[in-house]
Amino acid sequence: MIRMLIVGYCYGIRSERRLCEEAHLNLAYCWFCRLSLEDEVPNHSIFSKSRHGRFRDSDLFRWLFNEVLRRCMDAGLVKGEGFVVDASIIKADASR
């Protein structure tokens, strides 16, 4: 599941439903997620159930984020001196 989330973040796949569809179609995603051709791709609802259930009180995701960030800093990919927030205001298209 974490590998699927990494694929989603790296390729800008925001929807967990779409992420599951992409993992079902893309062999490279399946390989990275360690899914064989016979394995069933997890249902999109498993992400929400895990986030609000078994990982709710866990620091696993925070630890993983910090570990990846530390390794990127050790490799010289990022400096960790600051961050940027995009606060763009986008008009909603809810009236259509």
Please enumerate in sequence order all residues whose Cβ is within 8 A of that of 36, keeping only pairs 6 or more positions apart, or say none.
Answer: 30
What is the Cα–Cα distance from 72 to 22, expressed in whole angstroms?
Answer: 26
Q: Are 54 and 75 in contact (CB under 8 A)?
A: no
Domains of the chain: which residue ranges?
2-74
Residue, of 37 and 78, whose pLDDT is higher: 37
What is the Cα–Cα distance from 81 to 14, expressed in whole angstroms?
Answer: 27
Task: Read off φ and ψ for residue 71, nearest 5 degrees.
Answer: -65, -40
Q: What pLDDT, on a 0 to 100 scale, did the predictor assign at position 95?
A: 65
The model's pTM is: 0.60
Interval 21-72: pLDDT, tens = 998 899 999 999 999 888 989 888 888 887 777 777 778 878 888 898 888 8
What is the Cα–Cα distance from 14 to 24, expressed in whole angstroms?
Answer: 16
Average pLDDT over residues 65-84: 81
Least confident of 10-14, 41-45, 78-82, 89-93: 78-82
